[in-house]
Structure 1
Amino acid sequence: MGKIYLDEQSLEQIVTLIEKQCGSQCEVVLHDLSKDYGETIIDIRNGHITGRKIGDCGSDFGLRVMRRDEADNDRFNYITHTRVGLILKSSSIYLRDEEGQVRYSICVNQNITETLRMEYYLRDFNNYTLSEEFKDDNHDNEILVNNVQDLLQELIAKGKQNIGKECNEMSKEDKLRLLDYLDQSGAFLITKSSDKVSKELGISKNTLYNYLEIVRSESNYTLNLMNKSR
């Protein structure tokens, strides 16, 4: 069977299908990843859930896909928390063009906050707790924001949290670990991200580029550092 490539009109039909089927508590987002990452959203339904609109940016997951572009980029049924405390069950698929490049993505974010509250109520009412095998505490929370500057700031904050230090407390190796994390997360695909990151780390842009050469020249740089410290 030959490959079928969908145009934007066909993709918008799919977005409409999901919206009509899943209702007002399901956000459906269509991204054009060939555009500047600060404005990839070309269609969005029920954007009130995350506060996003057409012309806003993609998430950190999309950046990673563009940075790494693995054979299977799709993700299903992962949990995301919004800035205002909503809990979302999310799935994302990435679609390629005729040249095999990732071009579009469709992301579905189902607001399950109220159904979870009902679940907690019923669990308390039933006096029953799920066994550990059904719990999913090990998830990587997706960052959903309106613009790429907020996205970059969130990535920096997550990197600092992983290292456990503020930038002004970091050694050179700490800064290399942070840059490795940001690079693997696709942060440097964001326009003028090097200005923000170098200022945050208190280093010059030349030093930043030198550090990036170091982390890119060693595979699994963070793992290597961890092994050296043992």
Structure 2
Amino acid sequence: MAPPLVIIAAAFGAATAAFLPRLAYRLAVGFADPTRLSCANCARPFPQGFPGWVRAGAACSCSGGYASALLGGGTVAAVLAIAVGPVPELPFYLLAAVPGLLLAMIDRRCLRLPDPLVGTLAVVVAVPLAILRPERIGLALVAAVAVLTTYTLLAFLGGLGLGDVKLAAVLALILGFAGWPAVVVGVLAAHLINGPIAVFRLLTGRRGPIAFGPALLAGALAGLALQQP
């Protein structure tokens, strides 16, 4: 893998991730609640319109610590560049990382995966992949239906939320274009990531639901990183 491509990808990932903290903060609300109109720490209202949503850096000037967003965005983009390589699909994977990171940030805050963002993730990458790899459309659809069916059953048993089900199906659809090994690794990796976390919380007496979206997205990244040529 050419280092310049990895550097460019990492720079893109970090630059786009810099705009996510405020979006995540304003969107991390309950299902029926409106988006945040002001900062909960300093009570300063967010500007109306575009400036109120688009801001590089922390969610509010009173808060700091957005380095984790930059590091996360740069790392994800670099891993994608190394795993996928200089192929036509790479730009769309990099674009998909933006709503993916935003979903992970929101889910960690409020245990919710907004449908519009999940739909955006699907459109941004699945449609271009269908055009670039039409021979894999059937495989991708079968993978999505299989995961959707399995996770829906798990949701009815009380193990998952419907947002997790929808995101898992979208990620399976995307991974399907990379092949069955990517799908299998992506699904298994998500549970291997969240499993130890659930056990640790149980052992330390911490009960309650766990955000599964970040593990699903990390598993999908692992699936792409280990995809077969």
**Structure of higher RCO (CA pairs closer than 8 Å, 6+ residues apart):** 2
TM-score, structure 2 normalization: 0.26
Indicate the structure with greater helix content: 2
TM-score, structure 1 normalization: 0.26
